[in-house]
Amino acid sequence: MIRVLVVDDHPVVRAAVIDLLESTDGVSVVGQAVDGLEAIERADQVKPDVVLMDVTMPNMSGIEATRRLTAERSGASVLMFSAEARPCVVRAAREAGAIGFVTKGCRAREVLRAIYAASEGRSVWPAGA
């Protein structure tokens, strides 16, 4: 069972992603957070395999939260999830220690594929990134 923490400041996005993941065999949502600070706290509590992390959030960005989670060696693979994949944002995600990056405009199966890959330690990056 892949344990996923979903982090996004938009309630409707969080709810849709959680519904998708909870309806998928082999995946369990073990928590959710609305910003980077809460993500760090929740990751420590629920010990996810994968953190699906929005990039732009209040209080602490997903990039900074990823940097902290990977520095703490939490054991979780961080998969960035954003509306757009500008090269500078993708580069920042890589440098922060993310294992991959998917856009919110992709198909549901692509999100699931990325989560499975991240849980196995395989990276997933946009083409050309």
pLDDT digit of tens for each residue in the chain (129 aa)? Answer: 999 999 999 999 999 999 999 999 999 999 999 999 999 999 999 999 999 999 999 999 999 999 999 998 778 999 999 998 999 999 999 999 999 999 999 999 999 999 999 999 999 998 766
Provide the terminal-to-terminal Cα distance of the chain, rounded to the nearest Å.
30
Sorted by where each starts, the structural domains of the chain and their CATH numbers stand as 2-119 (3.40.50.2300)
Whole-structure pTM value: 0.96
What single-letter amino acid sits at 104? K
Tokens of 101: 């990056």
**DSSP-derived secondary structure for 48-62:** -SEEEEESS-SSS-H
Distances (CA, A) of 28 to 9, 13, 43, 46, 84: 20, 17, 14, 11, 26
